[in-house]
Amino acid sequence: MSENPTQKAFRDLPISAFDNLDEPVRVWDSNLRIVLANRAASDEQGAPISRMFDRLSSDSVLDEGQETEMSLVRKTFEEGIRQNTQINGIDANGDRWVTEIRTKPLIHESGGVSYVVATFLDRSAEKRLERQLIQSSKLVSIGELSTGIAHEIRNPLAGIRLGLDALDPVVSDDSDASEILTDITRDIARLDRVVSELLNFAKPKPHQPELFDVGKMFRQVSRFIRGIANKSRIRLKIQVEPEDLQVCADPYQIQQVVLNLTLNAIQAMEEGGKLTLEARRSENVNWSTSRDNPSGYRIIVRDTGTGIPEELMHRLFDPFFTTKQSGTGLGLTTSLSIVGKHSGELRINSTPDVGTTAQILLPEVEN
Of 362, 272, 268, 269, which is closest to residue 312 (Cα–Cα)?
A: 268
Helix runs in 13-123, H state only:
39-45, 49-57, 64-79
Of 83 and 357, which CB lies nearer to ligand ATP in the complex structure? 357
Q: Quick one: what does residue 209 bind among Mg ion, ligand ATP, none, with the CB cut-off 5 to 8 Å set by partner type?
A: none
Of 40 and 234, which CB lies nearer to ligand ATP in the complex structure? 234
Shortest separation between residue 166's beta carbon and ligand ATP, angstroms: 31
Quick check: 215 binds Mg ion (CB under 5 A)? no
At how many degrees (to 10) do helices 175-202 and 331-341 cross? 20
Of 34 and 266, which CB lies nearer to Mg ion in the complex structure? 266
Residues shown for the chain? 367
Shortest separation between residue 206's beta carbon and ligand ATP, angstroms: 23
Which residue is closest to Mg ion by CB?
Answer: 331
Residues that bind ligand ATP (CB under 6 A): 260, 264-265, 268, 303, 305-306, 308, 316, 321-324, 327-333, 356
One residue of 94, 251, 273, 331 binding Mg ion per CB under 5 A:
331
At how many degrees (to 10) do helices 214-231 and 251-267 cross? 30
Within 247-306, the residues that bind Mg ion by CB under 5 A are 264
Of 279 and 316, which CB lies nearer to ligand ATP in the complex structure? 316
User: Cα(318)–Cα(138) distance, rounded to whole angstroms?
Assistant: 7
Q: Quick one: what does residue 308 bind among Mg ion, ligand ATP, none, with the CB cut-off 5 to 8 Å set by partner type?
A: ligand ATP
Shortest separation between residue 264's beta carbon and Mg ion, angstroms: 4
Of 211 and 354, which CB lies nearer to ligand ATP in the complex structure? 354
Which SS3 state, helix, strand or coil, does residue 140 take?
Answer: helix
73 close to 34: Cβ distance less than 8 angstroms: no
Buried b / exposed e over 219-245, threshold 16 CB at 10 Å, is eebeeebeeebeeeebebeeebeeeeb
